[in-house]
Amino acid sequence: MIDKTTVEVIRGALVYAAEEMGIALKKSAYSPNIKERMDYSCALFEPKRRLIAQRSTFPSTSAQWLWVCVKGSPPTKARSGLGT
């Protein structure tokens, strides 16, 4: 069993990874909706398609639809050691 401190450290790292995804998206975007309005969301899902961590900007409608994109996709194998 993993202790609570380790769980929080891992949770923080996963949330930070989602934050970094958002920063990279904003820096590389051409769309004013992303660059200026910051209307986007980034998330990490486990192989069973459950949400692990999410980065949302201020009230974003795209955050509500992330699960639809993932649920419609075929399951994939984890590329890291996290989901195996």
* Each residue's pLDDT tens digit, 48-71: 877 788 876 655 555 556 666 666
Residues spanned by the domain of 42 = 4-71
Please report where in the chains the tokens 């401190």 appear, as a residue. 5
- Provide the domain count of the chain: 1
Residue 81 lies in a domain: no
pTM here is 0.65
Q: Is residue 58 part of a domain?
A: yes
State residue 65's pLDDT score. Answer: 65
Q: E strands of 1-84, at which residues?
A: 41-45, 51-56
| Amino acid residing at 74 | P
Res. 13: pLDDT tops 80? yes
- Classified as helix, coil or strand, 62 is helix
59 contacts 46 by C-beta, under 8 angstroms: no
Query: Which residue would you say has higher pLDDT here, 83 or 54?
Result: 54
Token output for 56: 């949302």
Q: For 16-47, how does the pLDDT look when each residue is reduced to its tens digit (9 = 90+)?
A: 998 898 889 888 988 887 777 777 778 888 88
Q: Which residue matches tokens 């202790």?
A: 3
C-alpha to C-alpha distances, 22 to 2, 38, 41, 69, 72, nearest whole angstrom:
29, 9, 7, 17, 22
Domain-embedded: residue 79? no
